[in-house]
Amino acid sequence: MIITNQGHYFLKIQQGDTVVAVNPISKDSSKKSTKFGADISISSLNHEDLNGTSEMVFGEKVPFQITGPGEYEVKDITIKGFGSESQYDGDSLINTIYLLRIEGVNICILGALGNPKLPEEAIESLEEVDILFVPVSKDTLSASEAYKVAVSLEAKLIIPLGEDADLKQFAKEAGSEKVEKLDKLTIKKKDLEGKDGEVFMFA
């Protein structure tokens, strides 16, 4: 599995021939958007910074779109979505936390979570998190809140998403010597053995 950050909270997850776009940036956003074909497009928040599912249509690829809480199974990938709170861009919005299971790897994406207190429904399902993507910004969680949430979920790998200044603050919370920077994350289930709360950041 190969995971790359396409900017902001936008992730591209590729497993074999299957491509999953998470929180793609809309062409209406002020943030730079990337266009590629996806089989599945997931959006945590109905805001142009995270809801560019139409950008993920390319050639013959038209993605299965997931835009809110529920349970889904597409192309052998199981996805659970849980409603939560967000105050993104000054608005009170519903944010969806997603748990994806791909080739035995549990990936939790907190989206634009704005409240460090997770919904009980989500906590019960997030018992075993292999890779956690946590937002850090003035619109979502502070560096301190983000790190506390990450530690509480006992994720094997923790990857914060945000602007450079926010990520530097998160690194301080985590202990900067523990943070490894990478261009992309290439990982299999066996690679997660023995990992416990390791922090990575996209360069």
pLDDT value at position 158? 96
How many C-alpha atoms does 159 have within 13 Å on its Cβ side?
A: 26
Residues facing 3 on adjacent strands = 13, 185
pLDDT value at position 87? 93
**What's the pLDDT tens digit per position in 1-54?**
999 999 999 999 999 999 999 999 999 999 998 899 999 999 999 999 999 998
pLDDT value at position 97? 98
What φ, ψ does residue 28 adopt, rounded to 5°? -85, -10
pLDDT value at position 180? 83
- Amino acid identity, residue 132? L
**What's the pLDDT tens digit per position in 93-119?**
999 999 999 999 999 999 999 999 999
Q: Strands of 2-7's sheet, edge to edge?
A: 64-66, 40-42, 18-22, 10-15, 2-7, 185-186
- % of the chain beyond a pLDDT of 70: 99
- Amino acid identity, residue 16? G
Q: Mind listing the domains of the chain with CATH numbers?
A: 2-202 (3.60.15.10)
User: Residue 123's CB: how many other CB atoms inside 10 A?
Assistant: 13
- The model's confidence at residue 192, banded by pLDDT at 50, 70 and 90, is very high
Question: Is this prediction's pTM over 0.75?
Answer: yes
159-186: average pLDDT = 90
Q: Is the pLDDT of residue 162 over 80?
A: yes
DSSP letter (8 states) at residue 89: G
User: Residue 80's CB: how many other CB atoms inside 10 A?
Assistant: 20
Q: Which two tokens stand for residue 99?
A: 């748990």
